[in-house]
């Protein structure tokens, strides 16, 4: 550890939340997968494998998932929620939100940990089934499921379908009847609570595409119950993503339980699904609420409300994605160029890497912040404010808007960006005909490919005219 007094003066271009680190090589607690460490020579090691070896074998950019970390997070979250809801006399089910990152291997990890899986398209359903998930352990949601998707889901015997609009009631019933099934369904409602990170907004109506207005729920549940091919399981609600604190969830749960209690007058309502959205740390300024604290607060509010309403406590269901897979992921990039840019007398060091908005679109999409560290070495040189830019043709193509790196960061360096396990590969794209990067799992000193990267041949494969005129790909693979 070096203490550099120079490093204690913030660069005026840095955002307020970002403090200059005493040691710009430190792997801050809570940001990196549990296996992350540095060798005595300063190299980043993940799952027992050196970052430089991973980059040499699989290239950059590269997504790395710490397998033990992801599996432990899934198992611990389930254990904590089950323990807290057992305390109030009920059970809790956990669905892994597959949209965060899904591959057949991740399906196997989640199923082995005792979780169910949520899908929201025919493609995600196909991956879950290819991973060997029993259809009864799957949930299907989305505001515009196609008739083909509903047919496929009911045919394979999917566990539950979340109905998102009045129109879907008839569609799901028809698909279920055609496939000779009585389909378990939830009804997605807007609790009027919308939350993101520290704030939540509570209104009586929400102006958004998902779900139905809470006051409409009794009428729609009546329509569901009138369908012989449907079995109503309970209400469903998802108030947002990357949420810190339990207050938004608690407010939403209280509102839902009022309606849940009214629905009990006309039939059973065995479950209540409060969705996902639990936040994680992307930078050292983020302090997400520990899962146990959330579970305690939610079990307490559910118990209190059920006592007040004099109703039995339902089985609870949750759908976290980010909090399970996000912190288990790290992205590796190679530095190509650096450029010191003078901004009204202050220097910002631009560091350009070989990926960008094609492998992580979250900064461009909604201003998401990330952290960065040197991955193949450490350095005692005083930290400088850096902006990690991608290689794409957009000035908003930023991977890390602001962090401090040792001032000698240079072309050829390997960089690591933590907390990229969720919504990075899943949202990846081929902008500028950049092939999608591979996803590699590391465990006990070994690495294996979960999803291979795309080659130039992959990129040309769907271009129907390519075979006619291109005898060569120019030697680039």
Ligand X SMILES: *Cc1c(COP(=O)(O)O)cnc(C)c1O
Catalytic residue positions?
Answer: 393
Instruction: Give the closest residue to 249 by CA, choosing from 232, 267, 273, 226.
Output: 273
Instruction: Give the closest residue to 420 by CA, choosing from 369, 364, 344, 352.
Output: 369
Tell me how many residues contact ligand X (CB under 6 A).
16
Closer to ligand X by Cβ: residue 279 or 390: 279
What gap in Å lies between CA 74 and CA 94, rounded to an integer? 9
DSSP helix/strand/coil, 272: strand
Restricted to residues 368-387, the positions that interact with ligand X (CB under 6 A) are: none
Q: Please provide the DSSP assignment of 94-156 as one string.
A: EEEEGGGS--HHHHHHHHHTT-EEEE-SHHHHHHHHHTT--GGGEEE--SS--HHHHHHHHHH
Q: Confirm or reject binding of residue 211 to ligand X (CB under 6 A).
A: no
Q: How far is the CB of 209 from ligand X (least distance, A)?
A: 11
The 278-307 site mask, x for binding ligand X (CB under 6 A), equals: x-----------------------------
Q: In this structure, are residues 8 and 258 in contact, taking their beta carbons and an 8 Å threshold?
A: no
Q: Please provide the DSSP assignment of 154-169 as one string.
A: HHHT-SEEEE-SHHHH
Q: How far is the CB of 362 from ligand X (least distance, A)?
A: 12
Restricted to residues 89-128, the positions that interact with ligand X (CB under 6 A) are: 97, 99-100
Q: Confirm or reject binding of residue 248 to ligand X (CB under 6 A).
A: no
Total residues belonging to the chain = 477
Q: Confirm or reject binding of residue 38 to ligand X (CB under 6 A).
A: no
Backbone torsions φ then ψ of 105, nearest 5 degrees: -70, -40
Closer to ligand X by Cβ: residue 97 or 398: 97
Q: Confirm or reject binding of residue 276 to ligand X (CB under 6 A).
A: yes
Among 145, 194, 322, 387, binds ligand X (CB under 6 A): 322
Q: Segment contacting ligand X (CB under 6 A): 34-42, 66-74, 273-281, 440-448?
A: 273-281
Backbone torsions φ then ψ of 265, nearest 5 degrees: -65, -30
What gap in Å lies between CA 300 and CA 281, rounded to an integer? 25
Among 21, 33, 211, 277, binds ligand X (CB under 6 A): 277
Q: How far is the CB of 367 from ligand X (least distance, A)?
A: 17
Q: What is the torsion angle, in degrees rounded to the nearest 10, for the CA atoms of residue 169, residue 170, residue 175 and residue 179?
A: 100
Q: How far is the CB of 88 from ligand X (least distance, A)?
A: 23
Q: Segment contacting ligand X (CB under 6 A): 164-172, 269-277, 287-295, 373-381?
A: 269-277
Restricted to residues 120-179, the positions that interact with ligand X (CB under 6 A) are: 141
Among 320, 329, 383, 435, binds ligand X (CB under 6 A): 320
Closer to ligand X by Cβ: residue 121 or 179: 121
CA 89 to chain centre: 30
Binding site for ligand X (CB under 6 A): 97, 99-100, 141, 238, 241, 275-278, 319-323, 422
């Amino acid at each position: 550890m070096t203490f550099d007094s120079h490093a204690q003066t913030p660069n005026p271009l840095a955002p307020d939340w970002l403090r200059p680190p005493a040691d710009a090589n430190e792997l801050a607690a809570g940001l990196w997968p549990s296996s992350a460490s540095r060798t005595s020579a300063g190299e980043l090691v993940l799952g027992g494998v050196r970052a430089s070896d991973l980059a040499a074998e699989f290239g950059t950019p590269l997504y790395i998932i710490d397998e033990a970390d992801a599996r432990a997070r899934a198992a611990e979250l389930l254990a904590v929620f089950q323990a807290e809801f057992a305390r109030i006399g009920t059970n809790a089910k956990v669905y892994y939100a597959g949209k965060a990152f899904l591959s057949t291997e991740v399906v196997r990890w989640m199923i082995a940990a005792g979780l169910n899986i949520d899908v929201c398209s025919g493609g995600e359903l196909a991956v879950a089934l290819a991973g060997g998930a029993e259809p009864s352990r799957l949930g299907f949601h989305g505001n515009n499921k196609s008739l083909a998707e509903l047919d496929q889901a009911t045919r394979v015997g999917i566990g539950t379908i979340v109905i998102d609009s009045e129109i879907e009631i008839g569609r799901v019933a028809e698909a279920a009847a055609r496939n000779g099934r009585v389909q378990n369904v939830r009804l997605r409602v807007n609790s009027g609570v919308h939350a993101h990170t520290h704030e939540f907004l509570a209104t009586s109506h929400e102006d958004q595409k998902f779900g139905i207005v809470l006051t409409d729920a009794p009428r729609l549940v009546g329509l569901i119950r009138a369908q012989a091919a449907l079995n109503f399981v309970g209400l469903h609600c998802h108030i947002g993503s990357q949420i810190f604190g339990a207050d938004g969830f608690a407010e939403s749960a209280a509102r839902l339980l009022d309606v849940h209690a009214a629905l009990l007058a006309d039939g059973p309502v065995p479950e209540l699904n409060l969705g996902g959205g639990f936040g994680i740390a992307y930078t050292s300024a983020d302090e997400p609420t520990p899962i146990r604290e959330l579970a305690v607060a939610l079990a307490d509010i559910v118990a209190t409300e059920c006592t007040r309403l004099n109703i039995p406590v339902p089985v609870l269901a949750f759908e976290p994605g980010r909090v399970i897979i996000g912190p288990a992921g790290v992205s590796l990039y190679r530095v190509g160029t650096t450029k010191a840019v003078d901004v009204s007398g202050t220097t910002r060091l631009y560091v350009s890497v070989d990926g960008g908005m094609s492998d992580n679109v979250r900064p461009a999409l909604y201003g998401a912040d990330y952290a960065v560290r040197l991955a193949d070495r450490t350095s005692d040189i005083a930290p400088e404010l850096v902006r990690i830019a991608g290689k794409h043709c957009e000035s908003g193509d930023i991977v890390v808007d602001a962090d401090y790196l040792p001032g000698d960061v240079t072309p050829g360096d390997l960089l690591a960006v933590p907390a990229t396990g969720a919504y990075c590969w899943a949202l990846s794209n081929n902008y500028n005909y950049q092939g999608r990067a591979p996803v590699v799992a590391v465990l006990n000193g070994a690495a294996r490919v979960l999803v291979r990267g795309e080659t130039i041949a992959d990129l040309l494969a769907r271009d129907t005219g390519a075979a006619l005129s291109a005898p060569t790909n120019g030697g680039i693979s």
